[in-house]
Chains A and B, each alone.
Chain A
Amino acid sequence: GENVEQHPSTLSVQEGDSAVIKCTYSDSASNYFPWYKQELGKGPQLIIDIRSNVGEKKDQRIAVTLNKTAKHFSLHITETQPEDSAVYFCAASIGSGYALNFGKGTSLLVTP
C-alpha cells in the first residue's frame, strides 16, 4: 500500500512544553487523516482527525494541520501533561475509501 512516514519515532518533552509530530503521505487521493493515541496494552484511540477540505482543526490542547500540496500533516499538543505519554499514530485513508495506512508511531514521554 501507499506509505505514511512519521517523525520522530521518539519524543521527550517536559511537562508544560509543546510536542509536534509530523507525517507525510504519498497517495494524492487520500482525504481523511486521523491521529490515534495508544497506551500500553490498549487499542488505538482516536484523538482528532481532519479531512482534506480543511487546513486546520483544534480540540482543546490538540490541533492538527494539513498541507495537501506538500502531502504532510502534523499533530500539535500544547501544555503537555504526564498523562499525554503514549504512542501516537498518524494515518491516511487509502484513496477516498475507509481503510487506513498507519505510520510507525511516535513514543511520546512527558516528564514532570
Chain B
Amino acid sequence: EAGVVQSPRYKIIEKKQPVAFWCNPISGHNTLYWYLQNLGQGPELLIRYENEEAVDDSQLPKDRFSAERLKGVDSTLKIQPAELGDSAVYLCASSLGRGGHEQFFGPGTRLTVL
C-alpha cells in the first residue's frame, strides 16, 4: 500500500512569489495534517483536517498561508507571498482518525526562499 505522497519534493523560489504543496494521504485516512519543520527542530502543526473540515488551524499564519482539502482526500497548502523565513520542510501526515492516533508522514517538501 502506498504511503503518504507529497509533491514537489524540492522547491526554490524568490521571496514574494507564491508556492503550493500537494499531499495525497494514505487511502482511507480521514485525518490529514500539515506540519512545518525547521532545520534541527521537531515538526510543528500548522493545520489538521477531519475529512474536508479544518478542525485545528490555530498555528496557521492566515495572512499568507492557506490550505484546502477538497472532497476530503488530497490537500494543498499555499503560501502567498513567500518570505525568507518560510524556508523549511513542509510535512504532510495522515491518520485514520476516530481513535486512530498513529500518524504516518510523507517525505516532505523542502522549500528554499531566496
Chain A residues within 8 Å of B, Cβ to Cβ: 1, 4, 6, 32, 34, 36, 41-46, 49, 51, 89, 91, 93-94, 97-105
Contact = CB atoms under 8 A, between A and B. Distances in A.
Contacts of A43: 4, 91, 93, 105-108
Given A44-B91, A104-B41, A105-B41, A49 B101 contact: yes
A44 B106 CA distance: 8
Contact of A46 (B33, B42, B59, B102): B102
B97 interface: yes
B40 interface: yes
Contacts, number: 59
Interface residues of B, number: 24
Contacts of A41: 107
A97 B55 CA distance: 11
B84 to A, nearest CB: 22
A89 B40 CA distance: 11
Contacts of A6: 42
8 contacts: A6-B42, A43-B4, A46-B104, A49-B102, A97-B56, A103-B42, A104-B42, A105-B42
Contact of B101 (A34, A45, A101, A103): A34
A41 B59 CA distance: 24
Given A46-B104, A93-B101, 9 more contacts: A4-B42, A34-B103, A43-B107, A91-B42, A98-B103, A99-B48, A102-B43, A105-B40, A105-B42
A44 B105 contact: yes
Given A44-B91, A99-B56, A104 B103 contact: no
